[in-house]
Chain A
Amino acid sequence: MAGKFLTIGLEHYLVASALLFAIGLFGLITSRNLIKVLMSVEFILNAANLNFVAFSHYVTPHELTGQVFAIFVMTIAAAEAGVALAIALSIYKHFRTVDLDKIHLMKW
């Protein structure tokens, strides 16, 4: 039983990334601040990245495909963060708040 904790395997990284994903999802549901929601989205993307790299390390050790995919995810996440923060800024200029409960535009 102790050996399971003392040799780091694929499952360790998967559990860490699952915890990170769950924290990101929790933040996504419970935040009222638009910026905090965006941070939670970054956590979810990072959890996916950690999974990519861990699988690349343990399942296909001699190909770096997982790392290449992680770099693509990083690119998209950076673009997403930039555009989303621009939208947040625009929303703040219009509504004078980033409270998601007070933003009534495009709500059904």
Chain B
Amino acid sequence: MTLRFADKLVFGLLFAAGFLLLASLVLFNFGSVLAFYLLSSTMIVSAAGVVLVRDVIRSAFLLALSFLCMGGLYVTLHADFLAAAQILIYAGAVSILFVFGIMLTRKGGKGFPEYSVDFKFFAFIFVFLGVLVLMGQAIFRGQWRIEGSTTPADINTVARIGELFFSQYIIPFEIASVILLMALIGAVVIAKKDEVSEESKYGG
């Protein structure tokens, strides 16, 4: 395989960029800043992809990518248990659930009908002018009572969260378990209902 000059140029530039990146990581302790910008930009872009891509199955995989990046953001916030839970529950379970939902409810072939571009444009204006301006006002005008310190990285969050679950938040914890059981049974009953009636309709 022979490389053309343009390929060599691209590879050289990539190597130079990588070297500069590593050097800046080491020299300026730039890692957490870089991690935040990389993870949040990937999260936002893939979230926009979920909404904008026409093929629903692709948006399911972009959804998983977005959830993974959010797990990384939890790591930058020193919430390690939550990051693991995010990746297990969202990037693992919920994304697969969506993939199943899409595959079970999709007619093969033609793409899904969408609203007109005009309507989307109005929705875009409404959301990004309305919501973002309001939230920007709240974020940048608000007086947050920020402590000087942040959550230390070496804290044992699993043990602390477990203690909170079994002391202060014991009632919500139990209610959450009941809700999960209800959702489990309810989902089975709802998804099964029509199949049974259809079987009885056709004499099965």
Contact = CB atoms under 8 A, between A and B. Distances in A.
Contacts of B79: 53, 56-57, 67, 70
A72 B176 contact: yes
Main secondary structure of the interface of B (DSSP, over half): helix
Contacts of A74: 85-86, 89-90
Contacts of A76: 176, 179
B183 to A, nearest CB: 3
Contact of B151 (A24, A62, A82, A86): A62
A39 B173 CA distance: 26
Given A67-B157, A82-B183, A39 B190 contact: no
Nearest to A11: B139
A98 B56 CA distance: 12
A63 to B, nearest CB: 8
A79 B145 contact: no
B51 A61 contact: no
B9 interface: no
Contacts of A24: 47, 51
B13 interface: no
B94 A81 contact: yes
11 contacts: A46-B90, A53-B77, A59-B144, A60-B147, A61-B151, A72-B169, A78-B94, A79-B182, A83-B183, A86-B188, A97-B107
Interface of A: 6-16, 18-27, 29-36, 38-40, 42-43, 46, 49-50, 53-54, 56-62, 64-65, 67-68, 70-72, 74-83, 85-90, 92-94, 97-99, 101
Given A19-B132, A42-B90, 18 more contacts: A8-B76, A10-B144, A12-B36, A16-B43, A24-B47, A26-B51, A26-B123, A36-B51, A50-B70, A53-B79, A58-B147, A64-B161, A68-B164, A76-B176, A78-B94, A85-B100, A85-B101, A86-B186
